[in-house]
Homo-oligomer: A and B are copies of this chain.
């Protein structure tokens, strides 16, 4: 019997879609591939990536497809604080650290959030979804350069 990669192969998407009476299309596969290849990206960036292969794909389709894949649980989006959201594959879990002085974005493992998650659950009954939103603050370099806490954020967000 043939092995079917139900996690990342093209068949996974097709099956998931068919299970819900939806159709597999080249656009959908391309968008999912683009998210995987880019790691993190905005709809705009994903669209550009898709267009390398299929120049006719419309940004509208990218938005609709990202929304669909998000609802299917195959990708997820994170709000980094300003502007467009940032999409990544669902499997790749991490927390974002956004420096609001230089705009730099770092990733840290989700596990660091576990203690906080436990507290929130115990005290507020709130189940934390660590990877959906970013944490903001000031990064090492900006602390070193622009001086500590005192200075207001320069720019970016």
Contacts and interface: CB of A to CB of B under 8 A. Distances in A.
Interface string A18-42: 0000000000000000000000000
Contact of A126 (B106, B123, B128, B129): B106
Interface in A43-83: 71, 73, 79, 81-82
Contacts of A128: 135-137
Interface residues of A, number: 38
Nearest to A148: B127
The prevalent SS among residues of A at the interface is mixed
Interface in A103-132: 106, 108, 112-113, 115-116, 119-120, 123-130, 132
10 contacts: A79-B81, A99-B126, A106-B126, A112-B120, A112-B123, A116-B116, A120-B135, A124-B140, A128-B135, A129-B138
